[in-house]
């Protein structure tokens, strides 16, 4: 595993983060404790050090499992979790959203489940369309001063909200907004128009989720598998429902054949070529092994351009060399 400098806060994190939305069975689909432990340990043994979770994942079970798995090795990992949705199927309205009350209640509950005294990166999971950014920024500052979080981040926020929050934190000398998280894959390239340029210009660490399009880019659903197409009620899943998406998957499969690797490895390698830390979310050891295999996949310029062209949001994709953010890749260090 290689490591990348994350934004401008001095952290060196692994090339891929381990997403733990599959840790637990509270949603009726996921990994039991033994399977979760096996995935976690294998990721750690491979050199991974960046863990991403949320209070809502498996209704709190993900954080609870991580709390046990981190005992005795907490300082070996950058631990990130999120608030906004609560940890119960029908969470009380006072502990959901981004209000100060929800923020404080959520962080205290997450700290207990994670069995730790502080969270390294604390994300607002998504905007609630009610709470002003000033309130969120001030809430993060209070938690940082109390020693409960080290860094703050915004997940699934549009670029204009992200830029405003960063500016507010700077002007008020609050704990900086250090990172942005959003969905990005060959079937969700919209962030390249605004979120990537904004995050890079603001010096934020970038984390992207669902690099496999919920599994669609592995090609497994063409073989009749169900996975996330049904496992999470069809959420966090991108179906092969257009001519372009069929063309994207055909291109991924063709390049995988050329390189002698899996389609999923091609998709993750492509996602990792944008200066972001992709989140992988394996439910089993075979899935983790396949995901980590992407770290040794080297896509040629010609292959990158073919993938870019097939997935372009415009009729004719420009060569990768002239895409504004293409030169701003993650700095990889030993």
User: Which of 132-136, 194-198, 232-236, 279-283 is predicted least confidently?
Assistant: 232-236
Task: Give the mean pLDDT of 291-313.
Answer: 97
Task: Give the mean pLDDT of 248-275.
Answer: 98
On whether the CB atoms of residues 122 and 153 are closer than 8 A, the answer is: yes
Q: What pLDDT, on a 0 to 100 scale, did the predictor assign at position 238?
A: 80
CA distance linking residue 6 with residue 176, whole number of Å = 14
∠ CA(259), CA(264), CA(270), 5° rounding?
Answer: 75
What are the angstrom distances between the C-alpha of 162 and each of 97, 137, 154, 317? 17, 11, 7, 27
Q: What pLDDT, on a 0 to 100 scale, did the predictor assign at position 329?
A: 40
pLDDT of 327 over the 60 cut: no
Catalytic choice (3, 43, 57, 122): 57
pLDDT of 235 over the 80 cut: no
Domain count, the chain: 1
**Where residue 323 falls among pLDDT bands split at 50, 70, 90?**
very low
Q: What pLDDT, on a 0 to 100 scale, did the predictor assign at position 334?
A: 46
On whether the CB atoms of residues 179 and 204 are closer than 8 A, the answer is: yes
Angle formed by the axes of helices 33-45 and 61-69, to 10°?
50
Nearest C-alpha neighbor of 85 from the set 46, 111, 58, 49:
58
Which CATH number does the domain housing residue 294 bear? 3.20.20.100
pLDDT, tens digit, for every residue of 19-55?
999 999 999 999 999 999 999 999 999 999 999 999 9
pLDDT, tens digit, for every residue of 68-112?
999 999 999 999 999 999 999 989 999 999 999 999 999 999 999
Residue 76 is part of which domain span?
3-333
In the chain, % of residues over pLDDT 90: 86
pLDDT, tens digit, for every residue of 51-71?
999 999 999 999 999 999 999
pLDDT of 236 over the 60 cut: yes
**Where residue 241 falls among pLDDT bands split at 50, 70, 90?**
confident
On whether the CB atoms of residues 165 and 137 are closer than 8 A, the answer is: yes
Query: What stretches of 70-152 show up as alpha helix (H) in DSSP?
Result: 100-114, 133-145
CA distance linking residue 14 with residue 25, whole number of Å = 27
pLDDT of 297 over the 80 cut: yes
Helix (H) or strand (E) holding 179: strand 177-183
CA distance linking residue 304 with residue 294, whole number of Å = 14
Whether 57 is catalytic: yes
Nearest C-alpha neighbor of 272 from the set 194, 334, 212, 201:
212
pLDDT of 317 over the 60 cut: no
Quote the distance between the C-alpha of residue 94 and its chain's center. Answer: 26
**Where residue 232 falls among pLDDT bands split at 50, 70, 90?**
low
pLDDT of 212 over the 70 cut: yes
Q: What pLDDT, on a 0 to 100 scale, did the predictor assign at position 166?
A: 98
Q: What pLDDT, on a 0 to 100 scale, did the predictor assign at position 186?
A: 97
Measured distance between the N- and C-terminal CA atoms of the chain, rounded to whole angstroms? 9
pLDDT, tens digit, for every residue of 114-172?
999 999 999 999 999 999 999 999 999 999 999 999 999 999 999 999 999 999 999 99
Model pTM score: 0.91
**Where residue 245 falls among pLDDT bands split at 50, 70, 90?**
very high
Q: What pLDDT, on a 0 to 100 scale, did the predictor assign at position 156?
A: 98
What's the chain's average pLDDT?
92
Task: Give the mean pLDDT of 266-283.
Answer: 97
Q: What pLDDT, on a 0 to 100 scale, did the predictor assign at position 242?
A: 87
| Helix, strand, or coil (residue 27) | coil
Sequence-distant (≥ 6) Cβ neighbours of residue 184 within 8 angstroms:
191, 192, 196, 208, 209, 210, 211, 271, 274, 276, 278
Q: What pLDDT, on a 0 to 100 scale, did the predictor assign at position 223?
A: 78
């Amino acid at each position: 595993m290689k490591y990348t400098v994350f934004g401008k806060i001095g952290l060196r994190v692994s090339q891929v983060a381990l997403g733990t939305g599959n840790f637990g069975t509270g949603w009726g689909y996921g990994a039991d404790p033994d399977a979760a432990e096996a995935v976690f340990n294998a990721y750690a043994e491979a050199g991974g050090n960046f863990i991403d979770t949320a209070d809502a994942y498996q209704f709190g079970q993900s954080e609870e499992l991580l709390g046990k798995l981190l005992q005795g090795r907490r300082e070996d990992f950058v631990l990130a979790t999120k608030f906004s949705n609560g940890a119960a199927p029908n969470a009380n309205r006072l502990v959901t959203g981004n209000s100060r009350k929800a923020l404080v209640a959520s962080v205290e509950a997450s700290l207990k489940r994670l069995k730790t005294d502080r969270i390294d990166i604390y994300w607002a999971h998504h905007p609630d369309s009610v709470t002003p950014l000033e309130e969120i920024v001030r809430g993060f500052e209070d938690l940082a001063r109390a020693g409960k979080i080290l860094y703050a981040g915004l997940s699934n926020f549009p670029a204009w909200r992200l830029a405003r929050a960063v500016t507010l934190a700077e002007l008020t000398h609050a704990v900086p907004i250090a990172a942005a998280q959003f969905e990005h894959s060959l079937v969700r390239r919209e962030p390249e128009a605004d979120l990537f340029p904004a995050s890079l210009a603001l010096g934020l660490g970038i984390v992207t989720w669902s690099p496999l399009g919920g599994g669609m880019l592995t090609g497994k659903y063409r073989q009749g598998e169900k996975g996330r197409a049904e496992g999470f009620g069809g959420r966090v899943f991108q179906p092969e429902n257009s001519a372009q998406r069929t063309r994207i998957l055909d291109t991924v499969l063709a390049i995988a054949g050329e390189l002698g690797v899996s389609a999923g490895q091609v998709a993750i390698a492509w996602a990792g070529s944008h200066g972001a830390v992709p989140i992988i979310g394996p439910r089993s050891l075979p899935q983790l092994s396949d995901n980590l295999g992407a770290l040794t996949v080297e896509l040629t310029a010609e292959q990158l351009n073919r993938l870019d062209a097939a997935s372009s949001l415009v009729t004719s994709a420009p060569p990768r060399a002239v895409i504004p953010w293409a030169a701003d890749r993650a700095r990889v260090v030993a």
